[in-house]
Amino acid sequence: MSSPALIASNGDSLREAFGKALSAMADEFPKLVVLDADIAGGTGVHHFRKSHPGRFVQFGIAEQNMMAAAGGMAAVGLMPVVTTFAVFCLRAIEQARLSLCYARRNAKIVASHPGLDVGPDGGSAQALEDLACFRAIPGMTVISPADATEMALATRAILEFDGPVYMRTGRSPSPRLFGDDHVFRIGKGQIIRQGDDLTIIACGAEVARALAAADLLLRDGIQARVVNMATIKPIDAELVARCARETGAIVTAEDHNIHGGLGGAVAETLAATTPCPVEFVGVKDVFGASGEPEELAHHYEIAAPHIAAAAKRVLKRRRADARVKIK
Partner 1 sequence: MNMHAQPANDTAATNLEDRLAEAARFVRMHAIASIYHAGSGHPGGAMSSADLFACLYGAEMNVWPRGIADPTRDRFVLSKGHAAPALYAVGAYYGFCDRKESLNLRKLHSPFQGHPHVLDLPWVETSTGSLGQGISVAIGMAIGLRLQNNPARVYTMLGDGELQEGEVWEAAMSAAHHKLGTLTAVIDYNKLQSDASNDVIMRLEPLADKWRAFGWDVQEIDGHDIAAILVALRHAGETAEPSVIIAHTIKGKGVPYMENIPTWHGSVKFTRQQADEALAALGASADEMKELLDV
Print the SS3 string covering the chain. Answer: CCCCCCCCCCCCEHHHHHHHHHHHHHHHCCCEEEEECCCHHHHCCHHHHHHCHHHEEECCCCHHHHHHHHHHHHHCCCEEEEEEEHHHHHHCHHHHHHHHHHCCCCCEEEEECECHHHHHHCHHHCECCHHHHHHCCCCCEEECCCCHHHHHHHHHHHHHCCCCEEEECCCCECCCCCCCCCCCCCCCCEEEECCCCEEEEECCCHHHHHHHHHHHHHHCCCCEEEEECCEEECCCHHHHHHHHHHHCCEEEEEEEECCCCHHHHHHHHHHHHCCCCEEEEEECCCCCCCCCHHHHHHHCCCCHHHHHHHHHHHHHHHHHHHHHHHC
Return the CA Rg of the chain.
Answer: 20
| Shortest Cβ 43–partner 1 spacing (Å) | 18
Q: Give me the catalytic one of 16, 63, 129, 150.
A: 63
Query: Of 133 and 302, which CB lies nearer to partner 1 in the complex structure?
Result: 133
Q: How far is the CB of 29 from partner 1 (least distance, A)?
A: 14
Beta bridge partners of 111: 84, 168
Rounded Cα gap, residues 296 and 187, in angstroms: 30
Q: How far is the CB of 58 from partner 1 (least distance, A)?
A: 8
Work out the angle between the directed axes of helices 148-160 and 14-25 (0-180°, nearest 10). 40
Q: Which is nearer to partner 1, 107 or 237 (CB)?
A: 107
Residue 238: active-site member = no
Q: In terms of CB distance, is 70 or 253 closer to partner 1?
A: 70
Among residues 96 and 186, whose Cβ is nearest to partner 1? 96
Least Cβ distance, residue 156 to partner 1 (angstroms): 22
Is the CB of 27 or the CB of 94 nearer to partner 1?
94
**Pick 45 or 128: Cβ nearer partner 1:** 45
By the 8 A CB rule, do 180 and 117 touch?
Answer: no
**Closer to partner 1 by Cβ: residue 46 or 105:** 105
Strand 224-228 vs strand 190-193: parallel, antiparallel, or unpaired? antiparallel
- Smallest distance from partner 1 to CB 68, Å: 3
Amino acid of residue 132: A
Q: Shortest Cβ distance from residue 124 to partner 1 (Å)?
A: 19
Where do contacts with partner 1 occur on this chain (CB under 8 A)?
33, 54-55, 57, 59-60, 62, 64-78, 80, 94-95, 98-99, 102-104
Shortest CB 107 distance to partner 1, Å: 9
The residues carrying an active-site annotation are: 63
